[in-house]
Structure 1
């Protein structure tokens, strides 16, 4: 048995469910978090967790893009 457990990212379904459970629209939450992760200070990463997250006041809610029609080959 290994002495360590490799860290892995949670599956996207967990992030979507966590956003829903905390009353957030999942697409808006994920889009904002992915944008902010680039500039967020390490000691403020807790602000991006679903239970702590608040959409920035200058940000309008994201609109989910329309699905593209299936490609024809």
Structure 2
């Protein structure tokens, strides 16, 4: 039953798409602000990784091997 309901829903949407033109929100469900927000989070994560990597390299190179 859990698999049947999504299949029925998908078939209904497919049938309705023949009679109802696809709207912008159906074709592009995510707004630009959501996509841009995701990009900003990814950019902050990359900055954080770069900072941690730089600190780790500086720490490891400052250790005297002898």
Q: Per the shorter chain, which TM-score range? A: under 0.3
TM-score after normalising by structure 2? 0.23
Please say which structure displays the higher CA radius of gyration. Answer: 2
Normalised to the residue count of structure 1, the TM-score between the two structures is 0.22
Larger RCO, structure (CA 8 Å, separation 6 or more)? 1
